[in-house]
Amino acid sequence: MRKPRHTGQKISLGLSIACAVMTLPSFAVFIWLWQTRGLADTWTPSLLAVSVFFGFCAAVCYAMSVPQPVLPAEDPPL
């Protein structure tokens, strides 16, 4: 059983979805620049770095948005 997401975790989940969505167009533009200009152009590796950043941003924000499990009740002292 897990606790419900609080406001900060909901915001983090939204940011992870936004980062995941932004990963796809940035990677598509990277592929397009790679085919048209090659790796020697400065924009091509920069867009690869942007794509990797958005991917890791999505992963970290999703990990922060996962609700914590409910802790078991403490046993009373004897």
- Does residue 72 fall inside a structural domain? no
- Does residue 76 fall inside a structural domain? no
Q: Give per-residue pLDDT as tens, 11-26.
A: 999 999 999 999 999 9
Q: Give per-residue pLDDT as tens, 13-63.
A: 999 999 999 999 999 999 999 999 999 999 999 999 999 999 999 999 999
Nearest to 65 by CA among 2, 14, 22, 1: 14
- Does residue 53 fall inside a structural domain? yes
pTM for this predicted structure: 0.81
User: The tokens of 50 are what?
Assistant: 């942007």
pLDDT of residue 74: 82
- Does residue 34 fall inside a structural domain? yes
Range of the domain at 47: 7-65
User: The tokens of 48 are what?
Assistant: 């690869």
Q: Is the pLDDT of residue 78 over 80?
A: no
- Does residue 70 fall inside a structural domain? no
